Amino acid sequence: MDNELLSREVTDIVSDILEDYGKGRIIDESRNYVHPDTDAVTDILDKLKNIVFAGYFNSNHYRSYTLENKISMLVEDVTYNLSKQIATVLLYQEDNRDKRMHELRTMADQMTLDFMRRIPKIREYINTDVEATYEGDPASASKDEIIFSYPGLFAIFVYRVAHELFTMDIPLIPRMMTEYAHSLTGIDIHPGASIGKYFFIDHGTGIVIGETTVIGEHVKLYQGVTLGALSTRGGQSLRGTRRHPTIEDNVTIYSNASILGGDTVIGRNVVIGGNAFITKSVYKENV
């Protein structure tokens, strides 16, 4: 095909695609300036990892001789960029549609500062997760190995960050964060789930933890575990209802077990075997 004919064909294709954009569907929206930046969100996560594990990871963007200088630069960077992203996604909330951008930036600045004040809490929880992983996995040579290389811990770290943003009613960004971790690790934790201290994911690939799941302390999950909804036929009509199970303290759930339903409770100290399919509550006295 000669270049002139090819050029006409390409022009026709572009015209057809542009015409298709005019059908008024959700995929036809063109509002790039009011959408969050995926790269910026993942960069924020990377810098937060440097803050949470300050002695383990270094930023490629900064050089500093003291911990104080390093943390100061990272906190300023994250605060500025997270506020920009939050201001953008606040437009997705109905109550904010009529607000001007400077109002949204003021709201976003305050929300960002509130989140940054939660970093000591995030560090407190993630430290217990490192401890639980080390104590629970005899294959781990050291806690350093866990922090540097375990996908389960990375997924939990991202969840801990995203969950705090989720509880602040910040749209989109928490789910973007956990789906980023999902894409890297195969571990899908909804930021709305409630997970206590000393949480350990072993191997991890294929784990699914739904939005309304409640997990206590000292819980251990193996690969392929699903903590899910019993049925999603109701679709959006089920929004805001308890659809996922409660896992109480000191529970171990082995690989490929599925525990489903908002009324399902796995009681304290219960061990769930591999490949189990559970839709009713299980307590220690029943085992």
CA–CA separation, 221 and 98 (whole Å): 45
pTM here is 0.87
Is residue 285's pLDDT more than 70?
Answer: yes
**Co-location of 74 and 169 in the same domain:** yes
How many residues comprise the chain?
Answer: 287
**Co-location of 44 and 161 in the same domain:** yes
Strands 208-209 and 214-215 turn out to be: unpaired
- Classify residue 25: in a domain, yes or no: no
Residues 269 and 284: beta-carbon distance below 8 Å: yes
In this prediction, residue 207 carries a pLDDT of: 98
- Classify residue 10: in a domain, yes or no: no
Task: Residue 283: give the domain boundaries.
Answer: 193-287
Tens of pLDDT, residue by residue over 182-212, are: 999 999 999 999 999 999 999 999 999 999 9
In this prediction, residue 23 carries a pLDDT of: 87
Tens of pLDDT, residue by residue over 23-62, are: 888 787 765 557 899 999 999 999 999 999 988 877 666 6
User: Taking the mean position of all CA atoms in its chain, how far away is CA 73?
Assistant: 24
Tens of pLDDT, residue by residue over 227-266, are: 999 876 666 656 667 899 999 999 999 999 999 999 999 9
Tens of pLDDT, residue by residue over 136-167, are: 999 999 999 999 999 999 999 999 999 999 99
- Residue after which a domain boundary falls, among 187, 206, 239: 187
Torsion of CA 242, 244, 247, 248, to 10 degrees: 0
3-state secondary structure at position 227: strand
In this prediction, residue 238 carries a pLDDT of: 63
Tens of pLDDT, residue by residue over 91-143, are: 888 777 777 878 888 999 999 999 999 999 999 999 999 999 999 999 999 99
**Co-location of 150 and 224 in the same domain:** no
What is the phi/psi pair of residue 253, to 5°? -125, 115
**Co-location of 217 and 275 in the same domain:** yes
In this prediction, residue 18 carries a pLDDT of: 86
**Co-location of 71 and 212 in the same domain:** no
In this prediction, residue 56 carries a pLDDT of: 82
- Classify residue 261: in a domain, yes or no: yes
Mean pLDDT of 62-66: 68
**Co-location of 93 and 197 in the same domain:** no
Q: What's the pLDDT band for 287 if we cut at 50, 70, 90?
A: low
Strands 208-209 and 220-222 turn out to be: unpaired
What is the phi/psi pair of residue 265, to 5°? -125, 130
Residues 83 and 37: beta-carbon distance below 8 Å: no
Reported as type and span, the H/E element at residue 222 is strand 220-222
In this prediction, residue 137 carries a pLDDT of: 95
Residue 157 CB: number of other CB atoms within 10 A? 22
User: Rounded to 5 degrees, what angle do the CA atoms 190, 283, 223 make?
Assistant: 40
Tens of pLDDT, residue by residue over 173-185, are: 999 999 999 999 9
Is residue 283's pLDDT more than 90?
Answer: yes
What total of structural domains would you count in the chain? 2
Residue 7's contacts (CB-CB under 8 Å, 6 or more residues apart) are none
